[in-house]
Chains A and B, each alone.
Chain A
């Protein structure tokens, strides 16, 4: 059975036991949109470098079943040293044994999305599906129609999470091909703050396809640190769509680290729907071998006086391919917008490829927008300078690449994540 037939069968199975309610109708609608749009093909301008054909032609099982026990998951490196609240999902389903809750304030609500729909129905209905628009996006529609489980996070007004919350997703492809669709919903209310880590890992050598959707809502005066750490090694395909909807006076730092994974496509969308928003979009990708990494981003400045600063950096080795496509849209009303964007790349081999494209669409007249992209090798001069002081070529390269990554690392407030980054750079060399 090819992928879309499989989806159809899965959806019919779901419908056979679904209740007759709004949620089901939403999913039914999403499914019909997916039937029309399908998996994005490279004919679409936004997907021309990101080929999902192998997925379309593959056969995948959707199943929570995993023989992995807690110990082997810890050995897979789930960042057990980080002191954090933890939600662990395996193949899209909650794995309670490894989940940890440290907060004492009972007004905070963190659970699986499935639980939230039952126990926090009003909140769920207020926010679920309200910030994404799947009408033009087959993968968003597919996720909405047939999502696995995911995290539900609700930080009420005026409350700060005392510890970061780490949402770990583990792909277990040790027994068969795997398809999963994590779906996370994060709500940070007025004057609240949170630090959230999305953490991806994989074990097993069968192919897998993970289609993630994150919906994040940040209300007035709230702040959010959001990290995405992608280390799902093996025959993994991941599409990861993150929509952040922010209201006035919010401050958001978003850092995406794409370190491992055979094929990764990220879509990061910010919608600034209030004045004096301040958003940072930082990212680092260090693909090697035949890895493919595509970072698409879109920042909508819909209101005046907002600031966005985007910086993505890449170090590419071997036959790796990367794509950067950053779109800034300044709406007609968004006067006094400040929007910055940079994409900088170092190619360590002449068989690595980078496609980089900034897109500015500006409909207001009083704005400050800059963008720039660079592609180059490690500079000879600093290299020689370091070596002339007795530092080996290898060590000099390590120092220079860490220095290159430094302004991204600087934005990471969690030391364990910084050391992961450093050891990945070390390993990739």
Chain B
């Protein structure tokens, strides 16, 4: 699916990603954990194509293409989706119009005709049912006045609508109470299948109780310093990040 090799990135001359290596195969769920400031959001932003960062080294292959060469919109059209840590509110842009535009631009990219308005509405209705989305959310302007939980659920709903191949979720659990966390995770689990891969970024282990990963990686100071299976997350919950930090400092 995606293969990240020695990826390095900096902002304003400050190096933040210092050689990331990561391979995700179709259908796999990888979790990236790490203390605040480790570079988790930077990694997701760089993969989604945010232009603030300078790529200083390495490469990323996504479904056979050089990801770093693609514009953000082409990355999305190729099947990459980033669920934002802080989704922006866009007053005046209706959720429905936004999703229709996004879907049709993707179809155009793949040489398909735009979806008929009625087909689109049918499709949207079925996805809303499946993801248990309230009508009141999609009838409003994009994320406008949404609570934290509603924003995150809307990210997962967009994921369902756009049917990406690789979903990157940046701290989707942050700011959620336990009920919202359950709803969001249930949504994500419905979208899991043999083809679709996930990169779940989180600071806390609790999300991974609901979205059980195949692999867990620990990011620290812009490097993956430890990898394991789901049990690594449990270990981190008990021990915190300090022992990892110490291990890394000791090795230097």
Chain A residues engaging chain B, CB cutoff 8 angstroms: 381-382, 384-393, 395, 399-400, 402-407
Contacts and interface: CB of A to CB of B under 8 A. Distances in A.
A386 B102 CA distance: 8
Contacts of A381: 88
B50 A384 contact: yes
Contacts of A405: 92
Contacts of B109: 390
Contacts of B158: 389
B76 A399 contact: no
Given A387-B73, A388-B49, A399 B93 contact: yes
Contact of A390 (B88, B90, B92, B106): B106
Given A384-B72, A388-B72, A407 B77 contact: no
B105 A388 contact: no
B71 A387 contact: yes
Interface string B89-106: 011110001100111011
How many B residues touch the partner, as a band? 20 to 34
Contacts of B90: 382, 385-386, 400, 403
7 contacts: A385-B84, A386-B90, A390-B109, A392-B73, A399-B97, A399-B98, A406-B91
B73 A400 contact: no
B88 A393 contact: no
B29 interface: no
A382 B84 CA distance: 12
A395 B105 contact: yes
A241 to B, nearest CB: 32
B149 to A, nearest CB: 18
A388 B82 contact: yes
Given A385-B84, A388-B49, A402 B73 contact: no
- Give the most central of A391, A399, A402, A405: most B CB within 10 Å: A391
Contacts of A391: 73, 98, 101-102, 105
A404 B92 contact: yes
Contacts of B84: 385, 388
B82 A390 contact: no
Q: Which 5 A-B pairs have the closest CB atoms?
A: A403-B92, A406-B92, A390-B76, A387-B72, A389-B102
Contacts of A395: 101, 105
B162 A388 contact: no
A391 B77 CA distance: 9
A407 B105 contact: no
Interface in B47-91: 48-51, 71-73, 75-77, 81-82, 84, 87-88, 90-91
Contact of B93 (A388, A392, A400): A400
Contacts of A390: 73, 76-77, 102-103, 105-106, 109, 162
- Give the most central of A388, A390, A402: most B CB within 10 Å: A390
Contacts of B87: 385
Contact of B101 (A388, A399, A404, A407): A399
B49 to A, nearest CB: 7
- Give the most central of B73, B75, B84, B91: most A CB within 10 Å: B73
Given A388-B49, A395-B105, A403-B141, 8 more contacts: A382-B90, A385-B84, A387-B72, A388-B73, A388-B75, A390-B76, A390-B102, A399-B97
B182 to A, nearest CB: 26
A382 B88 CA distance: 6
Contacts of A400: 90, 93
Nearest to B82: A388
A386 B48 contact: no
B97 to A, nearest CB: 7
- Give the most central of A385, A389, A402: most B CB within 10 Å: A389
Interface string B155-182: 0001000100000000000000000000
A403 B75 CA distance: 25
Nearest to A379: B88
Contacts of B77: 390
B76 A387 contact: yes
Contacts of A386: 90, 93, 98, 102
A389 B162 contact: yes
